[in-house]
Structure 1
Amino acid sequence: MTEQLHIVGGGMAGSEAAWQAAEAGIDVVLHEMRPEVGTFAHQTGNFAEMVCSNSFRSDDDEQNAVGLLHWEMRAAGGLIMAMADAHALPAGGALAVDREAFAEAVTARLRAHPRIRVETGEIRSLPTEGHWIFATGPLTSTALAEAIRAETGADALAFFDAIAPIVHFDTIDLSKAWFQSRYDKGDTEEERKAYINCPMDKDQYEAFIDAILEAEKTEFHDGETAGYFDGCLPIEVMVERGRETLRHGPMKPVGLTNPHEPNRKPYAVVQLRRDNALGTLYNIVGFQTKMKHGAQTRVFRMIPGLEEARFARLGGIHRNTFINSPTLLDERMRLRSRPNLRFAGQITGVEGYVESAAMGLVAGRLAAAELAGRDLPPPPRVTAMGALIAHITGDAEARTFQPMNVNFGLFPPIDDVRGGRRGRKDRYKAYTDRAKEAFTAWLG
């Protein structure tokens, strides 16, 4: 009788790992501490709950590394991508989902699987026996984090992650704001209108920046230092880097025309992206924040169109823990000191929902193969999944290791394989063609 696989954590990585292993014929016990033990960011006990954004980012599988990762996960029968596709929202060239419906669907599929048993409760230590995958994500409980530190002999690295506020649609003033996707991206009118835009002139922008600088912020506890992931910087940190940083980042006005004043170019634009299928909630794009709640309300109501805004959720900040994978994990994502324990998802130092789910997919398949007595290597490093695994388990510099999104910079150079110099579009297409061929062979 094949031994069962234990998976700790029902987020993106744990959910996908459980699905892959169960589909491969392995009995799985999925351990999730919620709702018995909550976290700062989660609001439900559902699996794969999205807490920071509703976006899986670009779905372009020929010119974008994360779009290629989407393709690989779909090709591997991934649950996360199947449910994302089933609950997609218009978002131009990106893949965004109805967060609540998505999480409910993932939860229902996992609970209904005949080979998956769910156990609620906190795992506080590293088991000495059995086969385990730890996919506890950025909000790993204090007790488990301490157990990991005790086993590895090194402190788990940590940075702080900020989440953006969500606004009720019916409180947005559309006499000032307007629907438009940047550069009118999207195949349908609905997709091109997945975003709401709030314009600012120069004086409004300068006053807004002053208000952010003066607002009361969340303070860190004694001994804590803030090392943020660049893809999820609080707006206050961006503003501290220069007054124009927001205007060249999440508030850039390019590719947009205000129909209320078509001949007047906005100095800056705040974008809101649809957050659910009903279109009743919109999140403020790129506005992760560590401002205290009272300050957020005052500052964000300075945005034209949001003067009367009601917030379904204000922004916040939480600790994000991850291990130094280059020193601790082997190429099959196993803890070198305890090969019966695997790690997957954000705790390994990948960043983003898609990347986390992809690492869960690989960990689930590797563990299932091992339990079935088969020797399955990790995906080739020319694939998106393989490039991520190679990065976190050996390519990255351990001393300066930080969370990383998938990107073509992690891939072996294409010229090393096929020769010649190419323009960027041709080069990216060559990367994706090569990856798809290699990934298809790995699946086979």
Structure 2
Amino acid sequence: MIHIVGGGLAGSEAAFQITNAGYEVVLHEMRPFISTGVHETGDFAELVCSNSLKSMDLKNASGILKQELKDLGSCVIDVAYKHSIPGGKALVVDRESFSKEITKMIESNSKIKVDRSEITEIPEDKDLWIVATGPATSDKLYSWITEKFGKSAHFFDAVAPIVDFKTIDMSKVFFGNRYDEEGKDYINCPMDEGEYTYFTENLVNAEVLPIDGFDKKLLFSRCQPIEEIARSGVDSMRFGPMRPVGLKKDGKRPYAVVQLRRDNYAGSLYNIVGFQTRLKWPEQDRIFSMIPGLQDVKIVRYGVMHANVYIEPFKITDEFFRARSVPNLYFAGQITGVEGYLESIASGLYVAMNVVRTIERKEPFRLPHDTMIGALV
């Protein structure tokens, strides 16, 4: 029997690939009965952070990675395209309908047995195990991993708020995509210099939630809290998530812009792009209401910060992500150190391919290094 621990993007993709090859799996997912602290549902492949899977442009690394996943028969990426919503050149999905379809596909698959319990250790038996528990691996399983393989690592990640569209003052904002004034995919909240300065001063002095073991040096550079970006320099936000380049209102470029991206099909929810934060919740209400158009906004999901754990695969696994000291155990997804939705899907697909080859007594397959997935794994 093949066991997959974790029903995120990597675990779901691995389950589909293995069952499509004709084999049965047990998919262990402790949610919703045991919470991770960052997930909100018990659905499979829940998107915790952004609802963007990055660029679809084939001149872009993310676009090429998507194409390779499609060429290799990724089920998860197919569902993502099916549930895409307007987002400029990016593949943006309705996070709820996307994960609900993945969940329906898994629960209706006769070759997948779903086990809603926590796995705290991996037995060394004849079964094959794939650990794809992601950055929010449970404390008990993480303790077993560190006891078995030695100390692992972590960094700090954060989530941006989602707001209710009906509470946005549309008289103070405008629709538009970067470099495309006719685009309607983003809501733009323009600021003049005075508004930007006032917002920045309040943001850097706002109260934040204390995080155990928090260390600024361990912040993920592409997902830094907005308040930390602001503290790094007065213009940092204007050259980062609030950059006004390519955006015009009444023919003029604003001093700074806060962008909101649609989060669902209905357009009833929008997320504040690049505004990951660990501000206390009352402070999020206070600070973000200083953004033009958001003075009366209702936040339906607050930003939070969490630690992302991962193993050091070069020390623990071979090139196929099989544990050197436990030959029936594989690792896949973000727990291996890959970062991002697409990268997690690719990791789950790659590991599943080689688990199938192991069952069939074939030599493991290494993807060429001149492919996106081959270079990634």
| TM-score higher than 0.5 | yes
The question of 1:88 aligning with 2:84 is answered yes
**Matched residues in 2 for 1:331 and 1:172: separation?**
49
- In the TM superposition, what is the alpha-carbon distance from 1:263 to its structure 2 partner? 4.5
The question of 1:288 aligning with 2:262 is answered no
Aligned to 1:309: 297
The question of 1:26 aligning with 2:26 is answered no
Aligned to 1:136: 133
8 Å Cα contact 1:131-1:340 kept in structure 2: yes
The question of 1:234 aligning with 2:199 is answered no
Distance 1:126 1:95, change over 3 A: same
8 Å Cα contact 2:322-2:330 kept in structure 1: yes
Aligned to 2:3: 6
Q: C-alpha deviations, 1:155-176, integer Å up to 9, x for none?
A: 1101111000001111111111
**Matched residues in 1 for 2:8 and 2:27: separation?**
11
The question of 1:117 aligning with 2:107 is answered no
> Which residue, out of 153, 156, 161, partners 1:157?
153
8 Å Cα contact 1:169-1:281 kept in structure 2: yes
Q: C-alpha deviations, 1:222-280, integer Å up to 9, x for none?
A: x453411111111111112111111000000011111xxx1443100000000000000
8 Å Cα contact 1:172-1:306 kept in structure 2: yes
Residues matched between the structures, number: 375
> Which residue, out of 62, 69, 72, partners 2:68?
72
The question of 1:220 aligning with 2:211 is answered yes
Q: Which amino acid aligns with 1:210?
A: E
**Matched residues in 1 for 2:41 and 2:307: separation?**
19
8 Å Cα contact 2:36-2:137 kept in structure 1: no
Q: C-alpha deviations, 1:164-200, integer Å up to 9, x for none?
A: 0001111111111011011118xxx6xx211000000
> Which residue, out of 241, 244, 254, partners 1:266?
254
Q: Which amino acid aligns with 2:202?
A: A
Q: C-alpha deviations, 1:201-231, integer Å up to 9, x for none?
A: 001101111111110011122x453411111
8 Å Cα contact 2:263-2:269 kept in structure 1: yes
**Matched residues in 2 for 1:165 and 1:149: separation?**
33
Aligned to 1:300: 288
- Alignment partner of 2:171: what SS? coil
Equivalent residues in 2 for 1:196-211, closer than 5 Å: 196-211=187-202
Aligned to 1:44: 41
Q: Which amino acid aligns with 2:234?
A: R
- In the TM superposition, what is the alpha-carbon distance from 1:337 to its structure 2 partner? 1.5
**Matched residues in 1 for 2:252 and 2:334: separation?**
43
**Matched residues in 1 for 2:195 and 2:215: separation?**
32
8 Å Cα contact 2:162-2:272 kept in structure 1: yes
**Matched residues in 2 for 1:327 and 1:236: separation?**
35
**Matched residues in 2 for 1:197 and 1:326: separation?**
43
**Matched residues in 1 for 2:256 and 2:214: separation?**
34
For structure 1, the 5+ residue unaligned runs are: 390-444
- Alignment partner of 1:6: what SS? strand
How does the TM-score come out when normalised to structure 1? 0.83
**Matched residues in 2 for 1:212 and 1:342: separation?**
43
Aligned to 1:102: 98
> Which residue, out of 327, 347, 353, partners 1:359?
347
**Matched residues in 1 for 2:232 and 2:153: separation?**
24
- Alignment partner of 1:376: what SS? coil
Aligned to 2:321: 333
Q: Which amino acid aligns with 1:85?
A: Y
- Alignment partner of 1:335: what SS? coil
8 Å Cα contact 2:122-2:129 kept in structure 1: no
8 Å Cα contact 1:24-1:365 kept in structure 2: no
Aligned to 1:383: 371
Q: C-alpha deviations, 1:108-154, integer Å up to 9, x for none?
A: 1111122111111000012211211000001000000000000112x
**Matched residues in 2 for 1:89 and 1:340: separation?**
40
- The root-mean-square deviation of aligned C-alpha atoms, in Å, is 1.2
Q: Which amino acid aligns with 1:292?
A: K
**Matched residues in 1 for 2:331 and 2:256: separation?**
42
8 Å Cα contact 1:165-1:288 kept in structure 2: yes
Q: C-alpha deviations, 1:304-360, integer Å up to 9, x for none?
A: 000010011110111110111122121111111112111111111111111111100
**Matched residues in 2 for 1:36 and 1:307: separation?**
37
Aligned to 1:275: 263
Give the share of equivalent positions with the same residue, in percent: 48
**Matched residues in 2 for 1:361 and 1:220: separation?**
34
8 Å Cα contact 1:156-1:323 kept in structure 2: yes
